[in-house]
Amino acid sequence: MIYSYPDYYNKFHCIADKCPDTCCSSWQIVVDEDSLNYYENFEGEYRDTLHKNIDWAEGTFKHNRKGKCAFLRDDLLCDMYQHMGKESLCTTCREYPRHTEEFENVREISLSLSCPEVARMLMNNKDIVTWKIKSDEEEEIFEEFDYFLFTNLEDIREEMIHILQNRDFRICDRFSKVLQIGASAQRHFDEGELISWLDVEEQDKVVVEKEYELLKMQFSFLSEELEILYEDWNKVLVESEVFLFGDDEQTFFQNRTEFEIWWEKSTLPPMEIVLEQIVVYFLSIYLLGAVYDENIIGKVEACVGHGIELYMLLLARWLKNEKHLTKEELVELVYRYSREIEHSDENLEQVEVLKWFQR
Ligand code: SF4
């Protein structure tokens, strides 16, 4: 078995009570069966509190009156952890924000951007992200796993990440190239041919005729095409839309130019690196999933789309703040966006079938 990890993986430490938006606040935490059995048979002093705070019918932790996990104390520490120790935590609580993608004889482990501390780490990381590999003797066989397609996809992903991290080119040119490779790869696959990043056709280039209309349409996906998980996210989307598109097209482009000039002079990490890290993050996690559904281009477009959506959300916040943006706000928008997308299976599927670009 091969295990891969991004190079910043071991630097992560949960900041617990210092976390600005703890993961156990309003989430519905589904408890795995082993942990439920353990809790059911637990005989210690904490048994009554433990049993009272579990929804046994649903297999989840109950919420308190504030809508937060019943085990989350006012000091933002976990009451179960304090009384029963780390080993008592269910799989979700023990593993989050670690995330694993499973393929035959491969486990790709990442850290979810939906955790504020992970978002902070990645947004402060100016280095090119690399991956570390480990392996052991374990072997497995997945039924109907297309190993040939999988290795093809691995090659394509490696090249796409290489392009995305090539800082000699502007980020929009890197995005275009990756989108073109994705479309060519899909076409070759559909025609029953070997897919390769070397066979890229002119006809697969993205054509943007009306940029303003395209950006408007892409931004509308967030409120019209996707499930909204948190009520306050809806507020962010509604007000962002007004700040972005409330005036005419000329004002939009003027704002965008000013925003980029302002950002360059600010103390924020370079915008191109921020966008690179975001798209590399999504592509590294989701592209290989095409081995299961053969939707290569849907995944590539969604990953680039996430970079564009975040850019737009940051521009909107900058306008809302009367042309200012802090690093904390950058991190906040990144982790909240990730929560909305990555914590909803429905949204993860939907973003890959939306028509993000024209060719
Ligand atoms: S969101 Fe991340 S940093 Fe915050 S409590 Fe959860 S794991 Fe820790």
**184-234 pLDDT, tens per residue?**
999 999 999 878 877 889 999 999 999 999 999 999 999 999 999 988 999
CA distance 223 to 245: 14
Cα torsion angle, 162, 167, 169, 172, sign: positive
pLDDT of 8 over the 80 cut: yes
Residue 113 lies in a domain: no
91/155 same-domain check: no
Asked if 80 and 152 sit in the same domain, the reply is no
Name the residue type at position 3. Y
Last-in-domain residue among 53, 76, 95:
95
pLDDT at 24 over 80: no
Q: Are residues 29 and 169 in the same domain?
A: no
Query: Of 19, 27, 9, 6, which Cα lies nearest the Cα of 117?
Result: 19
Query: What is the Å distance from ligand 1's center to 25 Cα?
Result: 10
- Please check whether residues 73 and 211 belong to one and the same domain: no
Kindly report the pTM of this predicted structure.
0.93
How many domains does the chain divide into? 2
The model's confidence at residue 104, banded by pLDDT at 50, 70 and 90, is very high
Helix (H) or strand (E) holding 131: strand 131-135
Beta strands in the chain (DSSP E): 2-6, 54-55, 60-61, 98-103, 106-111, 131-135
Mutate which of 13, 14, 27, 99 for ligand 1? The one with the most ligand atoms within 8 Å of its CB, which is 14
What is the residue range of 69's domain?
24-95
pLDDT computed for residue 41 by the predictor: 95
Cα angle at 109 between 314 and 147, to 5 degrees? 115
Distance 14 CA to ligand 1 centre (A): 5
Residues 271 and 340 in one domain: yes
Confirm or reject: Cβ of 115 under 6 Å from ligand 1.
yes
Three-state DSSP state, 135: strand
pLDDT in tens, 323-353: 999 999 999 999 999 999 999 999 999 999 9
Domain membership of residue 177 (yes or no) is: yes
Residue 201 and residue 340 share a domain? yes
Which of 11, 13, 23 to mutate for ligand 1's pocket (most ligand atoms within 8 Å of CB)? 23
Within this chain, do residues 157 and 40 fall inside the same structural domain, yes or no? no
Residues 235 and 158 in one domain: yes
**Nearest atom of ligand 1 to the alpha carbon of 16:** 5
Residue 108: inside a domain, yes or no? no
Asked if the structure places residue 198 within a domain, the reply is yes
Distance in Å, CA 13 to ligand 1 centroid: 8
Asked, for residue 14, whether it belongs to a domain, the answer is no
Please say which residue of 95, 116, 134 terminates a domain. 95
Q: Tell me, yes or no, whether 331 lies in a domain.
A: yes
The predicted-structure confidence for 108-163, as pLDDT tens digits, reads as follows 999 999 999 999 999 999 999 999 999 999 999 999 999 999 999 999 999 999 99
Is residue 256 assigned to a domain? yes
* Domain assignment of residue 47, yes or no: yes
Q: Are 88 and 174 members of one domain?
A: no
- Domain end residue (candidates: 35, 61, 95): 95
- The contacts of residue 348 (CB under 8 Å, 6+ apart) are 286, 341, 342
